[in-house]
A and B are shown apart, each in its own frame.
Chain A
Amino acid sequence: GQQVMQIPQYQHVQEGEDFTTYCNSSTTLSNIQWYKQRPGGHPVFLIQLVKSGEVKKQKRLTFQFGEAKKNSSLHITATQTTDVGTYFCAGRNTGGFKTIFGAGTRLFVKA
């Protein structure tokens, strides 16, 4: 069945350092979504990528969707303590009916 792998599992950074999380699928995706879950909170939608090779930016966050639509990344420039949380990618198979969440990457930022 469809699987969405996400690495790393954890990342500890010093405030001001950059951070990247990667997502890989065994099958071609129709889209990839990214969510952020703060400690004790619920997932909050960040962005959706649909096109092959698409790149989108939200302030310090840069999202990419691979050319083959099988991988994606989220890059945060100059992390801040407010970036703390778990970042999930979520992908939907081409022709599939459900969105599968990656395992998530927990980001810890030390001030």
Chain B
Amino acid sequence: DTEVTQTPKHLVMGMTNKKSLKCEQHMGHRAMYWYKQKAKKPPELMFVYSYEKLSINESVPSRFSPECPNSSLLNLHLHALQPEDSALYLCASSQSEGDYEQYFGPGTRLTVT
């Protein structure tokens, strides 16, 4: 199974809402990533988890809060977002941090109203 799943596929939320994005992989990968992608732009790294510990935080605003409950799951908790946070949020995983290919999920299309 080389699939990374993400839920929900689409999410519309107001600026005062709290929501969570979920990501799951069953490939035994020990590194998991959150990316933000705006239209016609490359994926922009947000967070990296390695062996369930936060390894990289790319100076992401605190209204985005990642969580890695176990080696297969990755969450992104959203609170008090701004309209400019609307984007495609991609989860990815790799065997570990380092020179390994990343497997991307289909993404969650987020719209903040």
Q: Which of A41, A50, A100 contacts B99 (CB 8 A)?
A: A50
**Smallest Cβ distance from B57 to chain A, in angstroms?**
11
- Quick one: given A42-B105, A43-B90, are A103 and B41 in contact (CB under 8 Å)? yes
Q: How many contacts between A and B, using CB within 8 angstroms? A: 45
For the residues of A in contact with B, the DSSP-based class is strand
Are A103 and B97 within 8 A (Cβ)?
A: no
Determine, out of B13-21, B42-50, B64-72, B79-87, the stretch whose residues face the partner at the interface. Answer: B42-50
- Total interface residues in chain A, CB < 8 Å: 22
For the residues of B in contact with A, the DSSP-based class is loop
**Smallest Cβ distance from B82 to chain A, in angstroms?**
23
- Bound together, the chains give a CA A88 to CA B92 distance in angstroms of 15
Q: Which of A31, A33, A45, A98 contacts B45 (CB 8 A)?
A: A98
- Quick one: given A92-B99, A97-B97, A98-B56, are A44 and B42 in contact (CB under 8 Å)? no
Residues in B with CB closer than 8 Å to A43 are: 43, 90, 92, 102, 104
Residues in B with CB closer than 8 Å to A106 are: 40
- Bound together, the chains give a CA A106 to CA B97 distance in angstroms of 28
B90 nearest in chain A by CB position: A42
- Bound together, the chains give a CA A43 to CA B92 distance in angstroms of 10
- Total interface residues in chain B, CB < 8 Å: 20
Q: Which of B45, B92, B97, B99 contacts A30 (CB 8 A)?
A: B99
Residues in B with CB closer than 8 Å to A104 are: 41-42
**Which residues of A pack against B, CB within 8 Å?**
30-31, 33, 35, 41-45, 48, 50, 88, 92, 97-104, 106
- Other 16 A-B pairs with CB < 8 A, given A41-B106, A99-B102: A30-B99, A42-B90, A42-B104, A45-B101, A45-B102, A45-B103, A48-B101, A50-B99, A92-B99, A97-B48, A97-B55, A99-B45, A101-B43, A102-B42, A103-B41, A104-B42
Q: List 25 A-B contacts (CB under 8 A).
A: A30-B99, A31-B99, A33-B101, A35-B104, A41-B106, A42-B90, A42-B104, A42-B106, A43-B92, A43-B102, A43-B104, A44-B104, A45-B102, A45-B103, A48-B101, A50-B99, A88-B43, A92-B99, A97-B48, A97-B56, A98-B48, A98-B56, A101-B43, A101-B44, A103-B42
